[in-house]
Amino acid sequence: MALEKKMIAAQSATNRSYHHGDLRRALIDAAVALVTEKQDWTFSLREVARHAGVSHNAPYNHFGDKQDLLIAVAEAGFERLRERMAASVGGDAAADKALLDCGRAYLENALENPALYRLMFGPALAKSKGSRPQAARHAGNDARTVLVDIIVRGARSGVFAIAADNPLGIEKAAFFSWSLVHGLAMALLDGFLQAELTIDDIVEEMAKVLLKGLLPRQTRLKRSTAKLKLTRRIK
């Protein structure tokens, strides 16, 4: 049902874009809708054109070939990811809570559209090993700034044990935080999870690993002591 609603919304966006004269956007939206519907990207440019309601030659007005269109689809995927991550972060939320909410939004985004996520991060668009299209790379960096901003906010407020004026420390924290959540997303998509866990369970476990390395030692000790007292009261 959720997938069907997304397809209808994507098609509506496609129709609106085309009627307003934005053919390029309409074609991208149509391709995103097809990726979402089919959960792969083996469709042809002709099929994209038909889905957008335009002539079969129309895509070539904006894209040299299908690969160029798929790069634009990946770029759109990163834009959606950035918007979702940003929307998950409360303006007044403490940085540690914002970080976990952002991680939750990231995981949900990946699980809701696995094919798009794999296109964004997988090797399909790479022209050579380790090479990614510039447009997709820039869009990915824009999404990553949401995470970096949270790390910086936590550093400035003292929530995280990182100096706000230490660019390397900020970069390392952002890289390893992103890597952890991305690794979790890929493990879930590839079916490596053996236990029946909800997203809430996964985020809770992620917090233990992720925040352990970011919170000041004193804060970690206080939280561990509070948790131990709570466990004893429950028993």
Whether this prediction's pTM lies above 0.85 is answered by no
CATH numbers and ranges of domains, the chain: 1-64 (no CATH), 73-234 (1.10.357.10)
Q: What is the pLDDT of residues 83-119, one digit of tens each?
A: 999 999 977 789 999 999 999 999 999 999 999 999 9
Tell me if 102 sits within 8 A of 147, measured CB to CB: yes
Residue of 42, 122, 20 lying closest to 77 (CA atoms): 122
Q: What is the pLDDT of residues 125-172, one digit of tens each?
A: 987 666 788 999 999 999 999 999 999 999 999 999 999 999 999 999
Q: What is the pLDDT of residues 22-78, one digit of tens each?
A: 899 999 999 999 999 999 999 999 999 999 999 989 999 999 999 999 999 999 999
> In whole angstroms, what is the distance from residue 8 CA to residue 12 CA?
6
3-class secondary structure for 74-138? HHHHHHHHHHHHHHHCCCCCCHHHHHHHHHHHHHHHHHHCHHHHHHHHCHHHCCCCCCCCHHHHH
